[in-house]
Amino acid sequence: MLTDTRLTERNVEDSDPLQDRLSPHIHLNLNVRGLGPSATLAINEQCAELQRQGRDVFRLGLGQSPFPVPDFVTESLREHAAEKDYLAVKGLAELRAAISGYLRRTEGLDYDPDNILVGPGTKELMFIVQLVYYGDLVIPTPSWVSYAPQAHILGRQIRWLPTDPATGMGVTADALEAHCRADPDRPRLLILNYPGNPTGIAYSAEQLQAIAEVARRYRVLVLSDEIYSGTRFDGEHVSIARYYPEGTIISNGLSKWCGAGGWRLGAFAFPSHLRWLLDGMAAVASETFTSTSAPIQYAATTAFNGGPELDRYLADSRRILAALAGFFQRTLVAAGADCRPAQGGFYLFPSFEPLRARLEAHGVTDSRTLCTRLLEDTGVAVLPGSNFGRPSRELSVRLAYVDFDGSTALDALKTGEQEVDDAFLRTYCPRVVTAAERMADWLSHG
């Protein structure tokens, strides 16, 4: 039986039996001990506190879309604000049909609306799928900050796939093959996130086909996290479900390509072959979140149905994000960093290992210290690579180039004649430009 060692340090007559029974040291689940808030949420709160203290902070930690929710989608939310009834656990029928249509329109994939599950954000659904499906979690290093903690909370084994910086640090068929070959019959859940958080990488059709072949050979369940699909700079996102339809669940939602992170709406699309898994998740959903917010589901139906206004919004958003990614990447590389170009999303994952000698001379020996010093010296807030599964001593960080007014930037493109060049970025995204230049100057001069 677990005991609270503090009891031995008190006189028996001073102890409170009820307090002792409720002590977190006794009753806190072992899988939760030591866990703090999600790193991305913690950095957001830290930045807010520094700003309250009067500091000028460049908020490149939390990956929140800088763009507003499209007007026609917010108008739909206003129209349905009075919707108050509990909806079906799996989601509003019209919304599931809209998501099915979205996948057909954007991916050429045919999903039965009845095989779609809506939830209060994809994060909740990812937790539930790991709860229902009993298998190891397989993710590349680096990966988004919440995949591994969710598996840890549930007591699942976490298997990190090695990655190659030269190819963008994504999943490779060879690494997956080597991992699966050692124990071919073990159940596994591979999360494939692209465009990627934290790296901004995407996969070619050839890479996806190769990964799909390995996954099929070893019956690996693939969760394709495509939350950034609409932000791929070239507009040519391809789902691995094209090549491994029977074993792939597609995850998507409104938070990134529709700018509606705080609305908390996500969805999983299942092949008919995995209907048993959908049913299990729906049963858990019925006992936990019950159903997703009704007004949000009606508005999401409008978003997933799309149209010319959404197409223009996405095209302009991608132009701005691509220009920012290019500017930031070039600026850091010129200062001596190693940084792969991004292909989508809001992120870069630079390594400052080429500058280790210079940084160590200033007491910077690991990624956490690197981020602390950057924030103290420049006001630029980024996250350490160690939060994403990289070795703590590796001098890597994740930055989100989102600290700008997306609404103003989009308005500037409405004429269709504006070039998204460096001059545009300095005018409409000045804080991101300044953050890049401050980081580069700090790296160059200390």
Mean local confidence (pLDDT), 26-38:
62
Look at residue 53 in the predicted model and tell me its pLDDT: 80
pLDDT above 90 covers a percentage of the chain that reads: 83
36: confidence class by pLDDT, cuts 50, 70, 90 = low
Radius of gyration for the chain, computed over Cα atoms and rounded to the nearest angstrom:
23
Last residue of a domain, one of 306, 323, 356: 306
Query: Lowest mean pLDDT: which of 4-13, 71-80, 321-330?
Result: 4-13
Last residue of a domain, one of 241, 275, 306: 306
Are residues 318 and 232 both part of a single domain?
no
| Average pLDDT along the chain | 91
Neighbour-count burial of 82, counting CB atoms closer than 10 A to its CB (0-12 exposed, 13-18 middle, 19+ buried): exposed
393: in domain: yes
CATH code of the domain containing 147: 3.40.640.10
Look at residue 13 in the predicted model and tell me its pLDDT: 45
Domain residues for the domain of 111 are 71-306
- pLDDT digit string (tens) for 119-137? 999 999 999 999 999 999 9
- pLDDT digit string (tens) for 252-297? 999 999 999 999 999 999 999 999 999 999 999 999 999 999 999 9
Task: Return d(Cα 211, Cα 275) in angstroms, integer.
Answer: 23
18: in domain: no
Mean local confidence (pLDDT), 179-205:
97
Query: Lowest mean pLDDT: which of 42-56, 113-127, 234-248?
Result: 42-56
User: How far, CA to CA in Å, does 244 sit from each of 109, 271, 280?
Assistant: 12, 10, 22
For residue 84, give the 3-state DSSP assignment: coil
Are residues 356 and 370 both part of a single domain?
yes
284: in domain: yes
Look at residue 27 in the predicted model and tell me its pLDDT: 61
Cβ contact 64:402 at 8 Å: yes
Domain count, the chain: 2
- pLDDT digit string (tens) for 311-347? 999 999 999 999 999 999 999 999 999 999 999 999 9
Mean local confidence (pLDDT), 78-107:
97
Mean local confidence (pLDDT), 351-368:
95
Burial letters 290-314, b for 16+ CB under 10 A, else e: ebbbbbbbbbbbbbbbbeeebeebb
Query: Lowest mean pLDDT: which of 4-18, 131-145, 223-237, 405-419?
Result: 4-18
- What the block records as the tokens of 100 is 């099915």
Are residues 117 and 196 both part of a single domain?
yes
Higher-confidence residue of 54 and 369: namely 369
For residue 108, give the 3-state DSSP assignment: coil
Are residues 75 and 176 both part of a single domain?
yes
CATH code of the domain containing 338: 3.90.1150.10
Higher-confidence residue of 55 and 222: namely 222
Are residues 176 and 82 both part of a single domain?
yes
Task: Return d(Cα 261, Cα 255) in angstroms, integer.
Answer: 4
Look at residue 221 in the predicted model and tell me its pLDDT: 98
35: in domain: no
Are residues 272 and 181 both part of a single domain?
yes
Are residues 279 and 353 both part of a single domain?
no
361: in domain: yes
Last residue of a domain, one of 284, 306, 328: 306
pLDDT at 209 over 70: yes
287: in domain: yes
Amino acid at the residue 119 = G
Considering only CA atoms, which of 65, 138, 155, 40 is closest in space to residue 147? 138
Are residues 239 and 125 both part of a single domain?
yes
- pLDDT digit string (tens) for 376-425? 899 999 999 999 999 999 999 999 999 999 999 999 998 777 899 999 99
Look at residue 34 in the predicted model and tell me its pLDDT: 65
Look at residue 63 in the predicted model and tell me its pLDDT: 86
Mean local confidence (pLDDT), 346-372:
95
Are residues 273 and 360 both part of a single domain?
no
Are residues 278 and 340 both part of a single domain?
no
357: in domain: yes
